Structure 1
Amino acid sequence: MLTLEMIQQAQEALRGIARRTPLDPAPKLGENIYIKAENLQLTGAFKLRGAYNKILSLTPEEASRGVIACSAGNHAQGIALSATRLGIRSVICMPAGAPISKVEATRAYGAEVVLVPGVYDDAAREAERLTKEHGYTFAHPFNDPYVIAGQGTIGLEILEQLPDVSQVVVPIGGGGLISGIAYAIKHLKPSCRVIGVQAEGAASMEQSIRQGRPVELGSVATIADGIAVKRPGDLTFQLCREYVDEIVTVREDEIASAILALMEVQKTVAEGAGATPVAACMFKKVDTTAGKTVCVVSGGNVDVTTLSRVITKGLSKAGRLVEITTKVMDKPGGLLQLLQVVADTGANIVTINHAREAQLSDVGACIVTMVLETRNSAHVAQIREELSSRDYPLL
C-alpha cells in the first residue's frame, strides 16, 4: 500500500538519477498558470521516476529473472534506462503504432523491444503472456505502489517550488502519475485541489469514476498516445476516487492548440499527453482565476511527423490556417479577381486548387479551394464575409 514515507524515500533514492525539473510561470498561456516541465526530465518524461524506484525495489531473485514492462513509450524508456544502469535485462512490449522516436529511444537505452499490434492494453496482455512463459519480473507502468511513489515525488517538488500553489492539473492515462501527485499533495497541503485531464477519446478514468468502478473502454483514439489507456488500474482508481478533486476532458483540436501554444509561447515541446493540462486551462475546462495553477507537462517525446500534423491542426484551431472553397466564373481574369480579394484581406495563400470539372461546379464556373495563412479567428471571419459580399459563395 502507498504511504507518504514511500514517496519521501523515493525522492531520496532519485537524487542524482532524476532531474529536479523547473517550475516556471507561463502568463502568456493564461492567468495564474505555471508549468512543471517534466518534458525536460531525463528520457523526456516523468516516467523515469517511477520506473527507477520500481527497479530499485526488486529483490536479487526478481532482478536475476530480468524485468518486463508494457508501454506506449515513456515508461518503456524509463524502465530500459533504469534496468541498464542497474545491470538488469529488460524486455519492453510496445504498441506497434507507438511513435518511432520512442521505440528507437527505448532500444538505445538497452531494452529488447517487442512490438505488439493494437494499443497499450494489447501490449499489456502480451507482456503478461511473456511473463508467464519466461518468468520475467513484471513492472507495471501505473498500477504499482513503487511506481506511484516515484511519480509522487513530483508532488513533493511542486510544494517545495511553489508553496502557495492553489491547484495542480495532471494528465491521466492509467492513473499512476496523478495518484502519486495527489497522494503527496493531499497529505501535505489538503487545501490544494488536484484536477485530472483526459483526452475525450480515451477517458477511461473519468468514466470509471462516474460509474463507481474501473471500466474498460471498447477502443481509444487520441493524439495523446501516452494516455491512450482503455482501463485504469484498480489501485490507481481507488487513489483517484479518494484524492482527486475533479476530472475533465479535452478534445483533439484543443490538445493540438496547447502543443502549439507551448512551442510558441513557452518555447518548449510537449507531446499530446503532456499538453492536456495546458489545453484544459486554455479552453476554460479548469478555472485558473482563483489561484496559482500548476500544469504538469508530463512529457515531450513526440514524433516529428506527428508534431507536423499536430501543428497544422493547432493552427487551424487558432484560426491561423483555414481552407476555403468557392466558385469563380470560368472566364479570363476570373481567378485573378478572386486572388486580389484574398490579397486585400491580408491573407497569405499556402496552396490553391482550380478545378474546371468538379461535381460542385456549374457550367461556366470553376471550383477553387485555397489554404490560407491567417492571423486569428476574427481574420478568418473577415475573409469569409468579404468573399460573400463579393458574390463568392462559400462551399
Structure 2
Amino acid sequence: MSARTTVTPADVRAAARALDGVAHRTPVMRSRQLDEMLGCEVHLKAENLQRTGAFKLRGAYWALSRLPAGTPVVAYSAGNHAQAVALAAREQGRTAIIVMPADAPRAKREATAGYGAQVVLYDRYTESREEIAAALASEHGGTLIPPFDHPDIVAGQGTAALELFEEAGQLDALFVPCGGGGLLGGSLLAAAELAPGCAVLGVEPEAGDDVQRSLATGTRVLIDVPRTIADGAQTRQVGAIPFPLIQEHCAGIRTVSDAQLAEAMALLATRLKTVVEPTGALGLAGLRAEPGAWSGRRVGVILSGGNVDLDVFARLVGGAAAAA
C-alpha cells in the first residue's frame, strides 16, 4: 500500500486532468419511464460503457501513471480492476501480473489476459489473494496496486462522480456501488467539492455488509467472503484509506439482495437497453429499495460496470423478468 493515506478533492481534480483523453467521459443516461416508476428524476452515470467495461480504469491508470517508467506491477482483483491494471500497464509499457479468483467471470479473465497481463488463479474461499500478490511482487520486483485501498485509486475513481456532477448539476442524492470503498470514497470527495448538499449513499450486497457493520461499530469489520452474485463486491473488509472518508461524509450504507440486483439488471436491460453486471446494478437496486424516499428529487446513480458472462446475464435477467 502507498505510504500516503490522505486523499482530497484536489487529488480527484488532478486525476481528472490526467485522465482527459484516456478514460471515456461516459454518458449520463435518462429514462422518462424510469423517472415515472421511481417518482424522481434519475441520472445514471454509465460506467458500464467505460474502457474495459467498468470505472476501474480511472483509478488504475492514474495510480500507474505516478510510478517510475517501466516499473512492473502486481494486482489482485475479481476482474474489473484486473482488466484496468492490465490495460493501463500495456499502454504505459509495463509488465503486469494479476491474481484472480478461479471462479471469476470468464469474460473478465480472458479480457485481462488479452490485454497482455499474466494471470495467476487462486481459490477465493481458501487462499489469500493479498498474500499471493505480495509474494509475487517481492519475487518480480513489482509494485502492488490494490483495487481500492490506495490514495491514487480513490482519487481516480472519484472522477466518475465528478463528471456526473459537472453534467447533471446539483443532485439531492447519489447512490454508489460499494465493495472495498474506493469508488464510494472518491465519490464523496467529488460531492464535497461540487455538491456539498448531496446525500451520498453506498450500496452493498446483503451478504457482504461489512461497510454497514463497520460504520455501526466505528472500526473496520472483517467478514467471510460474501456469497453473492455481485462478484465485484465480494470484499471482506472496507479499505483503510476510504473508510475515514465514508465515516465523515457518507449519508448511509444500504444493502440489497441478489434478487433485487437481478431485478435492477432486468430493468436496465428492458428500459434502457443496456447491459450492467450485478455489482454495477447495486446503486439502482438501492434506490429502488426506498420507494418514495426521494419523491420529486434529483437523484444520481453510478452504474459501475457491465462485465458479465452472457449466459449468466441471460439467466439472471430472464429469471427476474419471469418473476416480475
Same-fold status (TM-score > 0.5): yes
Q: In the TM superposition, what is the alpha-carbon distance from 1:128 to its structure 2 partner?
A: 1.7
Residue 62 (structure 2) pairs with residue 53 (structure 1): yes
Kept after mapping to 1: 8 A contact 2:211/2:238: yes
CA distance in 2, matches of 1:121, 1:198: 23
Work out which of the residue numbers 261, 286, 292 in structure 1 matches 2:267.
261
Aligned to 1:323: none
CA distance in 1, matches of 2:203, 2:104: 21
Higher relative CO (Cα under 8 Å, sequence separation at least 6) belongs to: 2
CA distance in 2, matches of 1:270, 1:171: 12
CA distance in 2, matches of 1:51, 1:218: 26
Q: In the TM superposition, what is the alpha-carbon distance from 1:285 to its structure 2 partner?
A: 6.6
Residue 171 (structure 2) pairs with residue 165 (structure 1): yes
Work out which of the residue numbers 102, 109, 118 in structure 2 matches 1:96.
102
Residue 48 (structure 2) pairs with residue 39 (structure 1): yes
Amino acid at match of 2:111: A
Q: Give 3-state SS (helix, strand or coil) of 2:146's partner.
A: coil
Residue 25 (structure 2) pairs with residue 20 (structure 1): yes
CA distance in 2, matches of 1:294, 1:232: 23
CA distance in 2, matches of 1:245, 1:136: 38
Kept after mapping to 1: 8 A contact 2:255/2:286: yes
Aligned to 2:180: 174
Aligned to 1:108: 114
Aligned to 1:84: 90
Kept after mapping to 2: 8 A contact 1:95/1:117: yes
Aligned to 1:152: 158
CA distance in 1, matches of 2:63, 2:46: 22
CA 1:76–1:262 in structure 2 vs 1: closer, same or farther (change >3 Å)? same
Kept after mapping to 2: 8 A contact 1:197/1:277: yes
Residue 148 (structure 2) pairs with residue 142 (structure 1): yes
CA 1:253–1:281 in structure 2 vs 1: closer, same or farther (change >3 Å)? same
Q: Give 3-state SS (helix, strand or coil) of 1:234's partner.
A: coil
Aligned to 1:388: none
- RMSD over aligned CA atoms reads 1.6
Amino acid at match of 1:242: E
User: Unpaired segments of 5 or more residues in structure 1?
Assistant: 319-395
Amino acid at match of 2:254: V
Q: Give 3-state SS (helix, strand or coil) of 1:19's partner.
A: coil
Aligned to 2:11: 6
Aligned to 2:3: none
CA 1:119–1:316 in structure 2 vs 1: closer, same or farther (change >3 Å)? farther
CA 1:145–1:286 in structure 2 vs 1: closer, same or farther (change >3 Å)? farther
Q: Give 3-state SS (helix, strand or coil) of 1:288's partner.
A: coil
Q: In the TM superposition, what is the alpha-carbon distance from 1:312 to its structure 2 partner?
A: 3.4
Amino acid at match of 1:19: H
CA distance in 2, matches of 1:120, 1:108: 27
Aligned to 1:273: 279
Q: Give 3-state SS (helix, strand or coil) of 1:198's partner.
A: strand
Kept after mapping to 2: 8 A contact 1:119/1:228: no
Amino acid at match of 1:4: P
CA distance in 2, matches of 1:120, 1:243: 35
Kept after mapping to 2: 8 A contact 1:156/1:184: yes
Amino acid at match of 1:3: T
Give the alignment of 1:1-395 within 5 angstroms. Answer: 1-29=6-34, 30-31=38-39, 32-60=41-69, 63-64=70-71, 66-118=72-124, 122-284=128-290, 287-318=293-324
User: Which digits, 9 at most, give the CA deviation of each residue in 1:125-172, with x for residues without a partner?
Assistant: 311222233321000110111011111111211111011211110000
User: Which digits, 9 at most, give the CA deviation of each residue in 1:266-289, with x for residues without a partner?
Assistant: 110000011111111223278221
Amino acid at match of 2:21: G
Q: In the TM superposition, what is the alpha-carbon distance from 1:105 to its structure 2 partner?
A: 0.4
Kept after mapping to 2: 8 A contact 1:254/1:317: no
User: Unpaired segments of 5 or more residues in structure 2?
Assistant: 1-5
Amino acid at match of 2:54: A
User: Which digits, 9 at most, give the CA deviation of each residue in 1:151-207, with x for residues without a partner?
Assistant: 111121111101121111000000000100111111332101101000001111111
CA distance in 2, matches of 1:50, 1:38: 13
User: Larger C-alpha radius of gyration, 1 or 2?
Assistant: 1
Q: Identity percentage over the alignment?
A: 39
CA distance in 2, matches of 1:5, 1:120: 40
CA 1:155–1:120 in structure 2 vs 1: closer, same or farther (change >3 Å)? farther
Q: Give TM-score, length-normalised by structure 1.
A: 0.77
Question: How many correspondences in the alignment?
Answer: 315
Q: Give 3-state SS (helix, strand or coil) of 2:282's partner.
A: helix
Q: Give TM-score, length-normalised by structure 2.
A: 0.93
